[in-house]
Structure 1
């Protein structure tokens, strides 16, 4: 099958969308939306945190923001590598395949870091707060996306 410039452009757009989708999925539960409050807002506003919990959570959030930014940059870099490979090969060749694998690794790193952050947040909570937190996390991960 011959890859035309039009098809290469479509593949590039799809690949970039797939990379971005991983980041969006990893962050979906953290972002406030019109119909659901974000996970961090839920923790701060609904769980009646003590001052000690608030301070510990603030430190966790600052540390995670740094890590998250680093991982986002790595994902963007991997997507740029994919774009370059697609531009060089103009087909699904070995460079494109390797670049896709790299994008998937970076997406996985971001998702793993996000889940670890969720468990670190959970560890700061009382058993009663953890039950409410667990319900909210489950809802965020299993609900239909809002359009």
Structure 2
């Protein structure tokens, strides 16, 4: 089966949107004077002790596997959307179902990412949690909690 340029463009745009949601959830978007990612912030700004660093590395390794699986699932859902669009050539029931599937996969990725953020938070000491919470808020809204 051949995928048209239009279908490829739609699939690429949906994949980009999914990536942006995931990136947004974990603070990948830059603040003006803040570390590039939430990961960088945790590692560079929170002065983790050796035990925290070790537990964080284990968390990150597990999440990398989970995130990769979820991203693969999302790419597969995008491919199914492309097929549905090729079959229907309109916003029909197959396209609608495929879009719902893509949104579900995007939601699964976002939920896993937020779960990972809370798992990281659980490793922190109270004073670190306060700084972490401010950074998460800034990452998600562009505004730090006052």
1:13: how far off?
A: 3.1
What residue in structure 2 maps to residue 3 of structure 1?
A: none
Write out per-residue CA displacement over residues 46-101 of structure 1, whole angstroms, 9 at most, x where no aligned residue. 00000000000000000000000000000000000000100111011111011000
1:31 corresponds to 2:28: yes
TM-score normalized with structure 2 length = 0.85
31-40 vs 51-60, which moves further = 31-40
TM-score normalized with structure 1 length = 0.84
1:26: how far off?
A: 1.4
Give, in whole Å, the separation in 2 of the partners of 1:13 and 1:32: 24
Say if 1:112 and 1:60 are closer, same or farther in 2 by CA, change over 3 A.
Answer: same
Say if 1:30 and 1:69 are closer, same or farther in 2 by CA, change over 3 A.
Answer: farther
1:143: how far off?
A: 1.5
What residue in structure 1 maps to residue 68 of structure 2?
A: 69
What residue in structure 1 maps to residue 16 of structure 2?
A: 20
1:22: how far off?
A: 2.3
The 5-angstrom pairing of residues 118-137 of structure 1 reads 118-137=117-136
Contact 2:70 2:109 in 1 (8 A): yes
Give, in whole Å, the separation in 2 of the partners of 1:131 and 1:99: 41
SS of residue in 2 equivalent to 1:48 = coil
Tell me, which stretches of 5 or more residues in structure 1 are unaligned?
1-5
The 5-angstrom pairing of residues 1-147 of structure 1 reads 9=6, 13-14=9-10, 16-28=12-24, 29-31=26-28, 33=30, 35=32, 36-37=34-35, 38-143=37-142
Aligned pairs, number: 137
1:12: how far off?
A: 6.2
